[in-house]
Structure 1
Amino acid sequence: MNLELNPLHNFADYSEQYGQDKRLRLFDVFMPKTAGDIAQHIHQDLSYKNAFVEDGNFKAMSTKELEALGSEKQQALTKAIYKQASDGVGFLYAKCQLHQNPSDLSLSQQVLTWLNSAELLNGIKAMTGHEDITGANAQATRYYPGHFLTRHNDVNEHENRRVAYVLNFTPKWHPDWGGLLQFYHDDGNPKDTWVPIFNSIALFDVTHPHAVSYVAPFAKNPRLAITGWFTAS
């Protein structure tokens, strides 16, 4: 199956809107069936690891690896992760890093190819003013109850990040479930919040402080997305 994009979107046309606050949200990125197929694919077909910070170090463990720790160690680890979060540090969510592979014809691979296509990259450069953008990376993410991403910005000198993006693929999401993309002023006060609306894309400059709010225990579905950064070489 090939990706079917919404032909009405030309990212270069949104430069004025993006320039107002170096943020933009667009809806109906893909045609409805394509968006639904991507959602099903990234939920069911990919292999995820649980990403978190422990003692200041990034960790990624499969569910089987976590289960092998035993219930007592799992509980201690969760407690440590939440303790760090209470001090404003860390995250907990499921991720699957996507790598370019020409022989892989899966929908997630096609999304990665589209993100790195000359047409899209030229549109993103024109929209954001970052003329040095040369590519994009991507990871699929699943946020379950108890998952979160504390307040931070995405500036990374080593990776030359310029613009962050979030492609949302949760078919139905209620804002009471959490998992909201929260933006902040530089002084830490909340600015505004974007609900992860199905088949939408959020684009924002990496200097924006932001977070993904805690997913409530009563959330009915996982929060599905493909996220990453447009980067310079």
Structure 2
Amino acid sequence: MIDLRINPALDPAILGRSLQEKTRLQVANFLTAESASHLERLLTGNQIWYSTYNEGDLHFEVPQSELAQMSAPERAILMKNLNNGARDGFQYFFQQYYISNAVRSGENAGHPIHVMHAFVNSQEFLDFMRILCGAADIAYADSFASKYVPGHFLTNHDDKHDTYNRVAAYVLSMTRGWKADWGGNLVFYDHDTGNITEGFAPAYNTLNIFLTPQPHAVTYVAPFAGTQRLSYLGWLNRAEAT
């Protein structure tokens, strides 16, 4: 088994000065080359994907096999509803596999991609993130595998949650050869003006991390996108109050 490791050349204290000042940061070559290659293979080889979307406050996860069986009229209605939701409010549509939830529930036990849950909850990873974020009380992380293809998007929101005490969101981008023109960019908005203040394009073995809450989105992936936007993502959380 591959021992997943953070690039030892990275100093979380130095990087943390920038993150804590600017509230977001992009870090290239976050993992060792061997670790990144292994996690990339797990993503590209994963066959368990759910289309996830919302209807207002309701969240849905539909196995890709079920979505593929929709008739053309059924799919047209779904897309019309998603587009209307995106026009008027918060809306998302993409593919994911909720790794941490599967591990906790015993679903797909032993699946190779579940190693990501163990990695982001390892002492090495959590200690790095505590220093990076300036938050010694980070208690655990959760993990998702994420895939965006043409037509996928995530509209403006701030990641504030009523249940989970989130410190920061992380995206470990594992996408090669992406062009910013294809969309799928992680963008951040000025709270008052709505202007885009910064954007991170998908890349390979690159950590995007930002303190929460703050307004952000993933821009619409264009029909001409030449590959899949693949990543691992999740949140760094304080322990919930009891």
Settle same-fold status: TM greater than 0.5.
Answer: yes
Shift of 1:34: 3.0
Please list, as runs of the form range in 1=range in 2, the aligned pairs for 1:73-222 lying within 5 A after superposition: 73-99=74-100, 100=103, 104=110, 106=112, 108-187=113-192, 188-222=194-228
1:140 partner letter: A
Say which SS state the counterpart of residue 60 (structure 2) adopts: strand
Shift of 1:128: 1.5
Shift of 1:110: 2.7
Summarize the Cα distance change of 1:46–1:5 in structure 2 as closer, same or farther, 3 Å threshold.
Answer: farther
CA deviations 1:78-106 (Å, max 9, x no partner) are 11001100113210000001034797372
Summarize the Cα distance change of 1:131–1:6 in structure 2 as closer, same or farther, 3 Å threshold.
Answer: closer
CA deviations 1:174-217 (Å, max 9, x no partner) are 11110000001112221111111111001101111100000000
Partner Cα separation in structure 2 for residue 155 and residue 197 of structure 1: 26
Partner Cα separation in structure 1 for residue 65 and residue 200 of structure 2: 33
Summarize the Cα distance change of 1:105–1:147 in structure 2 as closer, same or farther, 3 Å threshold.
Answer: closer
After TM superposition, the score normalised by the length of structure 2 is 0.89
Partner Cα separation in structure 2 for residue 232 and residue 137 of structure 1: 11
Summarize the Cα distance change of 1:46–1:231 in structure 2 as closer, same or farther, 3 Å threshold.
Answer: farther
Count of residues paired in the alignment:
232
Say which SS state the counterpart of residue 97 (structure 2) adopts: strand
Partner Cα separation in structure 2 for residue 146 and residue 158 of structure 1: 30
1:134 partner letter: A
Say which SS state the counterpart of residue 35 (structure 1) adopts: helix
Q: Is the 8 A contact 2:99 2:116 kept in 1?
A: no
Partner Cα separation in structure 1 for residue 91 and residue 22 of structure 2: 26
Q: Is the 8 A contact 1:164 1:206 kept in 2?
A: yes
Shift of 1:154: 0.7
Say which SS state the counterpart of residue 199 (structure 1) adopts: strand
Question: Runs of 5+ in structure 2 lacking a partner?
Answer: none
Mean Cα deviation higher: 19-28 or 132-141: 19-28
Partner Cα separation in structure 2 for residue 185 and residue 55 of structure 1: 24
Q: Is the 8 A contact 2:6 2:125 kept in 1?
A: no
Partner Cα separation in structure 1 for residue 42 and residue 123 of structure 2: 25
Partner Cα separation in structure 1 for residue 165 and residue 90 of structure 2: 22
Identity of paired residues, percent? 30
Please list, as runs of the form range in 1=range in 2, the aligned pairs for 1:6-45 lying within 5 A after superposition: 6-45=7-46
Say which SS state the counterpart of residue 161 (structure 1) adopts: strand
Question: Runs of 5+ in structure 1 lacking a partner?
Answer: none
Partner of 1:52: 53
Partner Cα separation in structure 2 for residue 43 and residue 118 of structure 1: 27
CA RMSD of aligned residues (A): 1.8
